[in-house]
Amino acid sequence: MKATRTLLALLTAGSCFAAQADELSVISFGGANKEAQVKAYYEPFTKATGTKIVAGEYNGEMAKLKAMVETKSVSWDVVEVESSEVARGCDEGFFEKLDYKVIGAKKDFIPGAATKCGVGMFVYSTVIAYDAGKLKTAPTSWADFWDVKKIPGKRGLRKTAKYALEAALLADGVAQKDVYTVLATPAGVDRAFKKLDELKPNIQWWEAGAQAPQYLISGDVVMTSAFNGRISNAQKEGNKDLSIAWNGGLYELEYWVVPKGTPKKDLAMQFIAATVKADSQIEYSKQIPYGPTNKGAAGKIEPALASTLPSSPENLSVAVAVDPTFWLDHGEELERRFNAWAAK
């Protein structure tokens, strides 16, 4: 009830607002994440405001969003983006500046969540996932992930330089605190690709988040990198043997942005404000175990749920924070090299 009253208070500011509050296009990465958003964000927002959420999906194709902005034909109002895209899109003028008078005070969010053009909506981690019912030895690190003699079989890996290069360096013995220092050097990049060469014959690539647990369940791979929430949801669906190794997890924030030029900018800000309230984020974490960015949520989460979140102190202590500034500076060149390497 409290969350509903808050939504109603946010959205009674002006009668002219109600006239345009009929539909809002919200684009996310789909799958279990989208299903959680529907229950925690979309349905409550529609109930409180009468606004229909037109939910769409994409795989992070920023070129499509940029084309909309450049041609002044923006049909997306709110978009979920990865951390490395926030600063880039903001600098290039593809995102609107957010109104924190509407969204909430920046101090109410965890470090890095409240930026000029994007606000963090959840914390997630790319972890090592495996089927405990099929392995005699459980992996506990990226070194185990690479060790096909110790644990034979195919490995699933996301087909992108980001995450793959960090994992390769961790597998090669680089300390967690030194990953980006090493990767920022030509020798470090060469070292990461050399380590990837070792595993390449045993890699089965995935691109959509839903593929990682599917590969495990079907037996196509013996372990895989995966978004922690996808594995937890697969467990809820009856795949009880699926397990997570948190050590070496690569965690970051996912953000909401508003494409430059949307005619529903004000409504988009109101929607975002509703989703980053503490109670809304707690409900989202109950649907899929990604961590909240609103500081007010931490003390309200039940211990059993908290232990499954990448934002828990225990899981954070063995994880690596993905560096969005590094990927902003080096992403294009590393992705080009990675794609060329993967195509060989």
Mean per-residue pLDDT, 80-84: 90
The tens digit of pLDDT for each residue in 154-164 reads 999 999 999 99
The answer on pLDDT for 173 being more than 90 is yes
Give me the CATH topology for the region 124-252+313-343: D-Maltodextrin-Binding Protein; domain 2 (3.40.190)
Distance between CA atoms of residues 132 and 181, nearest Å: 34
Cβ partners under 8 Å of residue 76, min gap 6: 25, 27, 56, 65, 68, 259, 262
Residue 84 confidence (pLDDT): 83
The rounded mean pLDDT for the chain is 92
The answer on pLDDT for 32 being more than 90 is no
The tens digit of pLDDT for each residue in 196-252 reads 999 999 999 999 889 999 999 999 999 999 999 899 889 989 998 999 999 999 999
The answer on pLDDT for 60 being more than 90 is no
The tens digit of pLDDT for each residue in 89-119 reads 999 999 999 999 999 999 999 988 999 999 9
The answer on pLDDT for 9 being more than 80 is no
Q: How far apart are the first and last CA of the chain?
A: 56
- Whose CA is closest to 158, among 292, 322, 330, 326? 322
pTM for this prediction: 0.79
In the structure, what pLDDT confidence band is assigned to residue 15 with cuts at 50, 70 and 90? very low
CATH code for residues 2-122+253-306: 3.40.190.10
The answer on pLDDT for 328 being more than 90 is no
In the structure, what pLDDT confidence band is assigned to residue 280 with cuts at 50, 70 and 90? very high
Distance between CA atoms of residues 320 and 166, nearest Å: 9
Mean per-residue pLDDT, 282-299: 92
In the structure, what pLDDT confidence band is assigned to residue 20 with cuts at 50, 70 and 90? very low
3-state secondary structure the chain: CHHHHHHHHHCCCCHHHHHHCCEEEEEECCHHHHHHHHHHHHHHHHHHHCCEEEEEECCCCHHHHHHHHHCCCCCCCEEEEEHHHHHHHHHCCCECCCCHHHHCCHHHECCCCECCCEEEEEEEEEEEEEECCCCCCCCCCHHHHHCCCCCCCCEEEECCHHHHHHHHHHHCCCCHHHHHHHHCCHHHHHHHHHHHHHHHHHEEEECCCCHHHHHHHHCCCCEEEEEHHHHHHHHHCCCCCEEEEEEEEEEEEEEEECECCCCCHHHHHHHHHHHCCHHHHHHHHHHCCCECCEHHHHHHCCHHHHCCCCCCHHHHCCCEECCHHHHHHHHHHHHHHHHHHHHC
In the structure, what pLDDT confidence band is assigned to residue 61 with cuts at 50, 70 and 90? confident
Residue 12 confidence (pLDDT): 45
In the structure, what pLDDT confidence band is assigned to residue 262 with cuts at 50, 70 and 90? very high
Residue 14 confidence (pLDDT): 40
Could you check whether 2-122+253-306 and 124-252+313-343 share the same CATH topology? yes
**Domain positions in the chain:** 2-122+253-306, 124-252+313-343
